[in-house]
A and B are shown apart, each in its own frame.
Chain A
Amino acid sequence: MAESKVAPKIIPGELALEGVSKSYGALHFRKDVVQNCSFTIERAKLTVMVGPSGCGKSTLIRLLAGFEQPSAGRITLDGAPVTEPSRDRLVVFQETALFPWMTTWENILYGPRARGELTRETLDFGEFLLAKVGLQDFRDKYPLQLSGGMQRRAELARAMINNPKVMILDEPFRGLDAMTKELMWEYYSRLYEENRRTNFFVTTDIDEAVFLADKMLVMSNIPTQVRAVIDVDLPRPRRLIDLVESDRANDIKKQALSILHAEAMRSFSRGSKAAADFVEAYLKRASRA
Chain B
Amino acid sequence: MNKLTKILTNRAFWRGALSVAIFLVLWEIGARSKVWMAPEFFAPFKELLGAMGFKKDYLPWVGAVPAPSGVLKSWIAVLGQHGYWQSWYMSFFRVMGGFLAAMLIGIPFGLMLAVSRVAHGIGFPVFEVLRPIPPLAWVPASIIFWPTQELAIIFITFLGAFYTIVINVLGGARSIDVRYFQAAQSMGSSNWDIFRRIILPGTLPSIVVGSAVGMGITWEVVVAAEMISGGGSQQAGTGGGLGFFIWNSYVGGSYEQIVVGMISIGIAGFLSSELLRWGGRYATPWLKVR
Binding site for B on A (CB under 8 A): 65-67, 85-87, 89-91, 93, 97, 99-102, 110-111, 114-115, 141-145, 158, 162
Interface of A is mostly: loop
Q: Is the CB of A110 within 8 A of B286?
A: no
Number of interface residues of B (CB under 8 A): 24
| Bound Cα distance from A86 to B188, whole angstroms | 6
From residue A86, how far is it (CB to closest CB) to chain B in Å?
A: 7
Q: Is B82 an interface residue (CB 8 A)?
A: no
Question: Is B289 engaged at the interface, CB distance under 8 Å to the other chain?
Answer: yes
B40 contacts across to A, CB distance below 8 A: none
- Give the chain B neighbours of A102 by CB distance below 8 A: 201, 286
Query: B262-290 vs A: 1/0 string, CB under 8 Å?
Result: 00000000000000000000001111011
Residues of B within 8 A of A (CB): 177, 179-180, 182-190, 193, 197-198, 201-202, 204, 284-287, 289-290
Query: Once A and B bind, how many residue pairs between them come within 8 Å at the CB atom?
Result: 68
Residues of B within 8 A of A86 (CB): 186, 188
Q: Does A144 lie within 8 Å of B190, measured CB to CB?
A: no
Task: Return chain B residues, CB-CB under 8 Å to A99.
Answer: 180, 183, 197-198, 201
Is the CB–CB distance between A162 and B182 below 8 Å? no
Q: How far is the CA of A101 from the CA of B286 in the complex (A)?
A: 6
Q: For residue A91, which residue of chain B has the nearest CB? A: B186
From B187, B190, B287, name the one whose CB has the most chain A CB atoms within 10 angstroms.
B187
Complex Cα–Cα for A143 and B289 (A): 9
**Smallest CB separation, B172 vs chain A (Å):** 13
Partner of B179, one of A66, A90, A97, A101: A97
| New contact pairs (6) apart from A65-B186, A85-B182, A114-B187, CB-CB < 8 Å | A66-B186, A93-B179, A101-B204, A114-B184, A115-B188, A145-B290
27 A-B pairs whose Cβ atoms sit less than 8 Å apart in the complex: A67-B185, A86-B188, A87-B188, A90-B186, A91-B182, A91-B183, A93-B182, A97-B179, A97-B183, A99-B201, A101-B202, A101-B204, A102-B286, A110-B184, A110-B197, A111-B188, A114-B190, A114-B197, A115-B188, A141-B289, A142-B285, A142-B289, A144-B286, A144-B287, A158-B187, A162-B187, A162-B188
